Structures are given as structure tokens and as C-alpha cells.
């Protein structure tokens, strides 16, 4: 866990076509905070597109850059963070994510294909987009579920509706956490010295 106290308010995970980047931007503007996207962090740091990195250096090289970008964003970003769809493949990244408030934006095959588009420029979808997405969804579902504390189903919904559901889930979790902290604080006070009388 980061010792600085800086952490994203929420991290969005999920497959390509789940709407992570759009929803992160919407949520961030509603909360008056910043949104960040690890694909963009990698592209900015490298000065080239994700597709170019896949083609020039291969997927493994991209995954290392991505894992470093996620780790850096988790310790330095206070707003809403969207991480690339494959980031959860990395064991260390999954380990780090478990220390954060993570929401899984789930999407079924047909909505994912519609949103990504059959002519997608995404490097992992070259060839048969539908078949590739189907395989990725099936393979990665357990990893998304393992790191997330809440799931928002995005099928048939627009970004505004998804953002509202994420907002409600996060705010409910924050309220529960605050109530728990207050209760723990009260219990500690009641167990200590109060008005000169030691309580046990
Ligand atoms: C990938 C998802 C992409 C991007 C890269 C690989 C994946 O990000 O990181 O093309 O493996 O699912 P988005 O999920 O933001 O599209």
C-alpha cells in the first residue's frame, strides 16, 4: 500500500469495449477530479501508440510498460483511473489492485463488439474481432472478478448510466468505510481513559 496516502478514488477495470475511458472521464468531471488512463500514460512515456509498441516490440514488452504505468498511477493519482483491459493479466498488478477500490465494468460479447467496432485498430483484435473478443472475455473474467469489489454491468447502457452506477457503488462503499472508522474510533475511545475513568 502507498505510504503517501495518495490513491485513486476508484480504479476501473474491464475488457476493451466496456467504456472504461469514457466512464472515467465522466465520473472525474462529476467529482471535480482528474481522470487518468494507463494506455495514454504508456503512449505519452513512449512517444508512440499502443499498436506501434505491440508491432515493434511485441506484447510482452507492452505488458511490462503497462505494469509499470499502473503501479505508478496507483501511487500518484487521486482521481479516477482506467487501466487497460489486459493489465489484470500481470500477477503483481493484480496484487496491487487488491489494495484499491476497484470496479469491474463488465460487458457481454455483443455489446463489446458493437462498441469496439469490427474494424478495430486494437492490436489484439486483428483478424476475427468477434472471436478474439469472445476468447479474451472468457479468459479474463476470473481476473477481473478477483480484483474488483463491485461490478457494474454495462450491456445496453450508455456511459452516463454506467457512470451513475459506479458513482453510487463508490459512494456507498466510502460511506460504509467512514461509518466503520467512526465506530472503531468510538470503541477505542470507550476502551481508553475517558473523563478520568478507565474503561475496559
Ligand atoms: C488491451 C486493451 C487495450 C490496450 C491494448 C491491449 C487488452 O486497452 O491496453 O490494446 O489486452 O485487452 P483498452 O481496454 O483501454 O481498450
Ligand 1: centre distance to CA 47 (Å): 17
In a domain, 194, yes or no: yes
Question: What is the total count of domains within the chain?
Answer: 1
Look up cell 469472445; give the residue.
Answer: 134
Nearest protein CA to atom 15 of ligand 1, as residue: 84
Mean pLDDT for the stretch of residues 132-150: 96
In a domain, 161, yes or no: yes
The answer to whether residue 191 scores a pLDDT higher than 90 is: no
* Structural domain span for residue 122: 10-198
Q: Which of 124-138, 153-167, 185-199 has the lowest mean pLDDT?
A: 185-199
In a domain, 4, yes or no: no
Ligand 1: centre distance to CA 186 (Å): 45
Nearest protein CA to atom 6 of ligand 1, as residue: 86
In a domain, 90, yes or no: yes
pLDDT of the residue at 119: 66
In a domain, 129, yes or no: yes
Of ligand 1's listed atoms, the one at least distance from the Cα of 122 is 10
In a domain, 2, yes or no: no
**pLDDT, averaged across the chain:** 91
In a domain, 68, yes or no: yes
Mean pLDDT for the stretch of residues 33-56: 97
Whether 122 is in the pocket of ligand 1, judged by its Cβ within 6 Å, is yes
Confidence (pTM): 0.91
Mean pLDDT for the stretch of residues 11-37: 97
**80 CB contacts (<8 Å, ≥6 apart)?**
8, 9, 10, 12, 24, 25, 27, 28, 31, 33, 34, 35, 36
Confidence of residue 107 (pLDDT cuts 50, 70, 90): very high
Alpha-carbon dihedral sign for residues 29, 35, 39, 42:
positive
Nearest protein CA to atom 9 of ligand 1, as residue: 84
Confidence of residue 122 (pLDDT cuts 50, 70, 90): confident
**CATH number of the domain enclosing 131:** 3.40.50.300
Mean pLDDT for the stretch of residues 130-154: 96
Whether 123 is in the pocket of ligand 1, judged by its Cβ within 6 Å, is yes
The answer to whether residue 3 scores a pLDDT higher than 70 is: no
The answer to whether residue 47 scores a pLDDT higher than 50 is: yes
Ligand 1: centre distance to CA 65 (Å): 13
Of ligand 1's listed atoms, the one at least distance from the Cα of 20 is 15
In a domain, 162, yes or no: yes
Rounded distance, CA 183 to CA 195, Å? 19
Rounded (5°) CA angle 60-40-67: 35
pLDDT of the residue at 194: 45
Amino acid at each position: 500500500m502507498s505510504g503517501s496516502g495518495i490513491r485513486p478514488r476508484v480504479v476501473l477495470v474491464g475488457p476493451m469495449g466496456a467504456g472504461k475511458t469514457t466512464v472515467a472521464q465522466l465520473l472525474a468531471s462529476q467529482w471535480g477530479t482528474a481522470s487518468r488512463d494507463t494506455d495514454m500514460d504508456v503512449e505519452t512515456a513512449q512517444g508512440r501508440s499502443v499498436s506501434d509498441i505491440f508491432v515493434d516490440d511485441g506484447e510482452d514488452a507492452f505488458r511490462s510498460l503497462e505494469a509499470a504505468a499502473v503501479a505508478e498511477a496507483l501511487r500518484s493519482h487521486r482521481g479516477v483511473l482506467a487501466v487497460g483491459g489486459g493489465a489484470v493479466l500481470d500477477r503483481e498488478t493484480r496484487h496491487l489492485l487488491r489494495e484499491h477500490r476497484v470496479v469491474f465494468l463488465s460487458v457481454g460479447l455483443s455489446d463489446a463488439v458493437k462498441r469496439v467496432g469490427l474494424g478495430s485498430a486494437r492490436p489484439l483484435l486483428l483478424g476475427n474481432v468477434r472471436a478474439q473478443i469472445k476468447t479474451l472475455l472468457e479468459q479474463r473474467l476470473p481476473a477481473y472478478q478477483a480484483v474488483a469489489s463491485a461490478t457494474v454491468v454495462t450491456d445496453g447502457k450508455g456511459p452516463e448510466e454506467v457512470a451513475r452506477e459506479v458513482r453510487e457503488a463508490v459512494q456507498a462503499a466510502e460511506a460504509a468505510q467512514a461509518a466503520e472508522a467512526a465506530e472503531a474510533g468510538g470503541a477505542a475511545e470507550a476502551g481508553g481513559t475517558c473523563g478520568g475513568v478507565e474503561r475496559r
